[in-house]
Structure 1
Amino acid sequence: MRRKFILLCLVAVMMGCASQETIDADKIIQNVQVISMAGGEEIQKNQDVFVKGDRIARITGAGQFAPGQEATVIDGSGKYLIPGLSEMHAHIPSGDRSREYIDHVLFLYLANGITTIRGMLGDPLHLDLRRQANRNELLSPRIYTSGPGFGGNSFDNPDQARQQVRDQKEAGYDFLKIFPGLTLKEYNAIAEEANKVGIEFSGHIPSSVGLVRALEAGQTTIDHLDKYVEALVTDTVSAESPGVIYFGMHLTPQAERNKIAEVARLTTDAGTWNVPTQALLEHVLGPETPEELAQRPEFQYMPRETVQQWIESKQSITENESYSETLAKDYLQLRRDIIKALHEADAGLLLGSDAPQIFNVPGFSVHHELRYIVQAGLSPYETLETGTYNAAQYLNDLENSGTIEEGKIADMVLLEANPLDDISNSSSIAGVMYRGNWLSNREIEKRLNTIAEQYN
């Protein structure tokens, strides 16, 4: 009787296996907790995520369907899956740097779960890199890139500025990068021509322009919260920044905080996005010494001479007569208050840290930025939105990215712990999927060790 019962059980199991539908997929992440970012903080528990080519093919309850025999199986048990992150103020090295260094920087972004970058200092080489990334010919996030910057020494008159706008549009750059130093006439010419030919312009706000005019002109993003502190000051005679202190820090004592809500509302009405890059300012102006910052583990992945330059840069800033620890502390808190007010006014915020830049190692600095945005008053979920859903919305790419849903590009990050419990868990990376390609933690560590060995 017992033997008959065992045989019946075996037959039942075999029949169940035979009847289980197989999904045609290249990869499957099994039994994972999905934070889809598709509308609400609810976690989809114990899910199987099937990937075919570069797309998410199916998302089902764990074990409901079987993968094909050739599919790569990724164990997601106890882990969390989020959409790939976007670094919306990235820098890609220019063509005068070695190709090896450029490849290292692009990989550092990818190793940290960043599957999309917006390059803020364009170079003709970056158009080629964008094509290569799209074809999976290099280890790189998807690339959006500006052209070479529009600054005070870029041209001699507004007509030349207009021509440069047309040239960059024709060359295929995704947007224009605005730098300080432009006259109001030059800026207006750039804005008018950009709006005419249909290309975005983003970045800094020249002192001659100011926040209100930039909003009126249709500047798509404002980076670093540039000119927000100045907009809170009634008397702007001293608006030009002294020495090496920048982004209105010296005006902090004069800032009228009761104006913050009004400035945030103007931003919302204009439809302008902000990329705060709070990590840059926290690292440059915060209380940690340059030597302490340089001891962070991620600095082993940067050339020694670069780290030394960063140390000297912070030293020169903190030793400037315009700097004081009290002023820096008040300024950083003012920036946090502006970030929170922008969020509460429903003005778009985008994740960006400005890397590689002073003490911002590519990829790693985004996880610092996430922590700083939470410190400004956003929840971990709202903070993750800045680098996922919001980024896709800004890029007009919600059809393909920004959330984990069937049919979207398979850009995802597998985490060891829940980032909604603690945003620092965003860096607990167990693997990265980019355009359907899988980078395991083991492969990431192997490549990172190779970079570290070269620089140390």
Structure 2
Amino acid sequence: MIRQIVFLFLAGLLIGCSSKETIEADKVIENVHVISMNDEEEEVRQNSTVFIEEDRIVRIAENDRYAAVEEAEIIDGGGGYLIPGLSEMHAHIPSGDNDRSYIDDVLFLYLANGITTIRGMLGDPLHLELRRQAEQNELLSPRIYTSGPGFGGDFESPEEARRQVRDQHEAGYDFLKIFPGLTLEEYNAIADEADSVGIEFSGHIPASVGLERALEAGQTTIDHLDKYVEALAAESINTDEVENPGVIFFGMHLTPEADRERISEIARRTAEAGAWNVPTQALSEHVIGTDDPETLAERPEFRYMSPETVQQWIESKQSITGNEAYSEELAREYLQLRRDIIKGLHEEGAGLLLGSDAPQIFNVPGFSVHHELRYIVEAGLTPYEALRTGTYHTARYLDDLQNSGTLAEGKVADMVLLEANPLEDIANSDSIAGVMYRGNWLSGDEIEERLNAIAEKHQ
């Protein structure tokens, strides 16, 4: 009788194993907890396995429920946490005037930090070719969206501005970058022509334009929040000071005049207009915050930048904080005002996008996004809400939810393996154990090896 029971038990095991469905996949990430970012509420799929075929996720299931074909590469997730690839929505890609190795290093620094999508905010003809190479996996790079060269004024006529809009649209740039310095007539011409040819325009809001007009005109993203500070201020604005961050950083001097009671009103107006905001809070925190620049420069990530660049950043911060209009008290009030604006925009349903502005003063590409996430949480968002600004929200903004923004079957395999749960502590967003971009796997060891090689160039 006992022999029969044992026989039946073993037979059952064999039948169970043979009936396990086989999934066609070339890569499998086992033993992970999946944070899909699919819903408004936090959800973690415990003890999961993710199957990837070419550049797509084909199945997310409980561990041991399905088997992969023998040829599949098995990646042990080690009980880590898998999130969608992050985005840097105010990135800078070096221009073609730079050494190609430096350009490649910057792109890799983004990717090494789990950033699988970047939005280049100062376009260059080379960036169109880099975009193509990234799409074809010809270089280690996030997916690239790029503006054309910036619109900063000095046009002979509004018609010249219109012509430049048409030229950039025909060249294949994804959007137009607006800089300070445009007259209202030039801005209106650009907005009208962009609407006519079907290309979005984003970036700064010129002082001649103001927040309300930019919302009316349909500017897609508003970067840096400075015009919100201006809109909240009760007194008239000195446009020369507002537009020169080297003198008064992004309207900081207007802080005492700002009417905080109007934040909700302006945030609702932003939501109604459908405009997105890229706060770049890390830039403001690093540039005008009270941290000593020499101390900031000791952060480990600065070994990936040249000593000359780091010294320039130190001197830039010293110049701004040494201005007679600067004080630490004013800086603290200004940074808190910006946090209040971020929270107000979020509470009123105005879209926020993750972007830090890098490489820029004390913002090392890739690494600064993790600082940005922490600053967004400090503004009052939960870690989950902060992560959505760089995942789900990015896909919504790009009208690409069918392919990206969440971890789901059928979507592009852009994902980041973290050693610890970022929902418990947003600082865990940089505990990167591996990055998958468009179905390509970068292990933690390979990332470290390539980062060390970049650091050696700057010793």
Say yes or no: TM over 0.5: yes
Aligned equivalents of 2:30 and 2:300: distance in 1? 31
The letter of the residue matching 1:76 is: G
- TM-superposed CA distance for 1:19, in Å, is 2.3
Work out whether 1:189 is the aligned partner of 2:189: yes
The letter of the residue matching 1:411 is: D
Work out whether 1:437 is the aligned partner of 2:452: no
Q: What residue in structure 2 maps to residue 318 of structure 1?
A: 321
- TM-superposed CA distance for 1:257, in Å, is 1.1
Map 1:216-365 onto structure 2 (within 5 A). 216-241=216-241, 244-365=247-368
Map 1:419-430 onto structure 2 (within 5 A). 419-430=422-433
Answer whether contact 1:380 1:420 (CA < 8 A) is retained: yes
Deviation track 1:76-95 (CA, whole Å, cap 9, x = no partner) reads 23211100001100000000
Deviation track 1:140-191 (CA, whole Å, cap 9, x = no partner) reads 00000000000023x2211100000000000000000000011110001000
Q: What residue in structure 1 maps to residue 122 of structure 2?
A: 121
- TM-superposed CA distance for 1:115, in Å, is 0.3
- TM-superposed CA distance for 1:61, in Å, is 1.1
Work out whether 1:76 is the aligned partner of 2:83: no
Answer whether contact 1:37 1:83 (CA < 8 A) is retained: yes
Aligned equivalents of 2:247 and 2:4: distance in 1? 85
Aligned equivalents of 1:114 and 1:376: distance in 2? 22
Q: What residue in structure 2 maps to residue 18 of structure 1?
A: 18
The letter of the residue matching 1:108 is: L
Aligned equivalents of 1:448 and 1:352: distance in 2? 22
Aligned equivalents of 1:76 and 1:449: distance in 2? 23
The letter of the residue matching 1:64 is: R
Deviation track 1:60-81 (CA, whole Å, cap 9, x = no partner) reads 1110111111111111232111
Work out whether 1:450 is the aligned partner of 2:441: no
3-state DSSP class of the match of 2:138? coil
Answer whether contact 2:252 2:331 (CA < 8 A) is retained: yes
Among 408, 417, 420, the residue aligned to 2:420: 417
Q: What residue in structure 1 maps to residue 175 of structure 2?
A: 175
Answer whether contact 1:157 1:186 (CA < 8 A) is retained: yes
Aligned equivalents of 1:244 and 1:156: distance in 2? 28
3-state DSSP class of the match of 1:46? strand
The letter of the residue matching 2:313 is: W
The letter of the residue matching 2:300 is: P
- TM-superposed CA distance for 1:3, in Å, is 8.0
Q: What residue in structure 2 maps to residue 213 of structure 1?
A: 213
Answer whether contact 1:175 1:199 (CA < 8 A) is retained: yes
3-state DSSP class of the match of 2:162? helix
Answer whether contact 1:432 1:438 (CA < 8 A) is retained: yes
Work out whether 1:202 is the aligned partner of 2:198: no
Q: What residue in structure 2 maps to residue 99 of structure 1?
A: 100
Aligned equivalents of 1:246 and 1:151: distance in 2? 18
Answer whether contact 1:230 1:239 (CA < 8 A) is retained: no
Over aligned residue pairs, what C-alpha RMSD do you find? 1.4
Answer whether contact 1:230 1:236 (CA < 8 A) is retained: no
- TM-superposed CA distance for 1:240, in Å, is 3.6
Aligned equivalents of 1:420 and 1:254: distance in 2? 37
Deviation track 1:292-329 (CA, whole Å, cap 9, x = no partner) reads 01000000011111111111111111111111111111
The letter of the residue matching 1:58 is: R
Q: What residue in structure 2 maps to residue 143 of structure 1?
A: 144
3-state DSSP class of the match of 1:311? helix
**Unpaired runs of at least 5, structure 1:** none
Aligned equivalents of 2:364 and 2:400: distance in 1? 27
Answer whether contact 1:92 1:121 (CA < 8 A) is retained: yes
3-state DSSP class of the match of 1:247? helix
3-state DSSP class of the match of 1:227? helix
**Unpaired runs of at least 5, structure 2:** none
Map 1:2-17 onto structure 2 (within 5 A). 11-17=11-17
3-state DSSP class of the match of 1:168? helix
Among 347, 370, 374, the residue aligned to 1:371: 374
Answer whether contact 1:109 1:140 (CA < 8 A) is retained: yes
Deviation track 1:205-240 (CA, whole Å, cap 9, x = no partner) reads 111111111111110000001311110123224344
- TM-superposed CA distance for 1:120, in Å, is 0.2
3-state DSSP class of the match of 1:144? strand
TM-score (norm 2): 0.97
- TM-superposed CA distance for 1:9, in Å, is 5.4
The letter of the residue matching 2:285 is: E
3-state DSSP class of the match of 2:129? helix
3-state DSSP class of the match of 1:79? strand
The letter of the residue matching 2:382 is: S
3-state DSSP class of the match of 2:226? coil
Answer whether contact 2:420 2:431 (CA < 8 A) is retained: yes
Answer whether contact 1:239 1:251 (CA < 8 A) is retained: no
Aligned equivalents of 1:448 and 1:7: distance in 2? 55
Deviation track 1:388-435 (CA, whole Å, cap 9, x = no partner) reads 000000000000000000000000001111100000000001100000
Aligned equivalents of 1:307 and 1:54: distance in 2? 37
- TM-superposed CA distance for 1:445, in Å, is 0.3
3-state DSSP class of the match of 2:359? coil
3-state DSSP class of the match of 1:420? coil
3-state DSSP class of the match of 2:384? helix
Q: What residue in structure 1 maps to residue 45 of structure 2?
A: 44
TM-score (norm 1): 0.97
